[in-house]
Amino acid sequence: MISRVHQLKKILNNVEKNVLQIFGFPPRELAMAYTLEKRLPQPKKFTIKDIVGDGILLAVPKFRRTVEKRLKRKFGSPDYVWKMLIPKTNIIVCNSCGHYHERGYICGHCYKKVEAETKEIQDKIQEKLGNLKPIENDVIVLYNGENLPEQPKEFWQGKRIIEMKKDRPQWFSKNLLQKSTQQPSESKDVKPTDLA
């Protein structure tokens, strides 16, 4: 009720002010001069508040981690994933070099020898034939003192032969390069050294 009275009072004041303005009171000479500046639209500043909103929410733990949860995180579970490392029981000694390797896997030390030899052969192929890609025929590698197996000359047409200037390594037997897709031969006149 009182607010209505104040509203009415305001209205009357405004009316009085406007009427007096029409009749030139207060005089125009006493008016304050100012320039109307046109405000350019400012680029809206990017603050953290735009993302977060008015209240800053930071993640905080709500409850203390129980010892069971801590242990589960640290050790895992024997039923699912056990996080602790278990000694392996499938490690055996390589018969040829004496180093350790897992059962069912190649001995790493022995394989390094194979790798080195392969690299040498590949370098030789690259040097002699220009490229390493298997085109259509595979490469026949011969070591010191080895001869091609007896075959008619047409057999060797197109086949690529590499001669390594060294002795055959002990572990590199001929039947390592035996083809699994080739049918076993029926002939009985094969020299023992040329088997496979």
**25 or 111: whose CB is closer to other proteins?**
111
What is the nearest approach in angstroms of other proteins to the Cβ of residue 112?
14
At residue 10, the 3 state secondary structure works out as: helix
* Contacting positions for other proteins (CB under 8 A): 46, 48, 51, 83-85, 87-88, 91, 100, 102
What is the nearest approach in angstroms of other proteins to the Cβ of residue 46?
8
**96 or 137: whose CB is closer to other proteins?**
96
**98 or 145: whose CB is closer to other proteins?**
98
The H-assigned helical ranges of 42-184 are 48-52, 67-75, 108-129
What is the nearest approach in angstroms of other proteins to the Cβ of residue 57?
12
139 contacts 161 by C-beta, under 8 angstroms? yes
d(CA 132, CA 130): 7
**5 or 85: whose CB is closer to other proteins?**
85
What is the nearest approach in angstroms of other proteins to the Cβ of residue 85?
4
**109 or 160: whose CB is closer to other proteins?**
109
Is the Cα torsion angle 88, 89, 91, 93 positive or negative in sign? positive
Give the phi and the psi of residue 40 in degrees, each rounded to 5. Answer: -75, 150
What is the nearest approach in angstroms of other proteins to the Cβ of residue 97?
14
Q: Give which of 8, 10, 30 is closest to 21, Cα–Cα.
A: 30
The strand ranges marked E within the chain are 91-93, 100-102, 139-142, 160-163
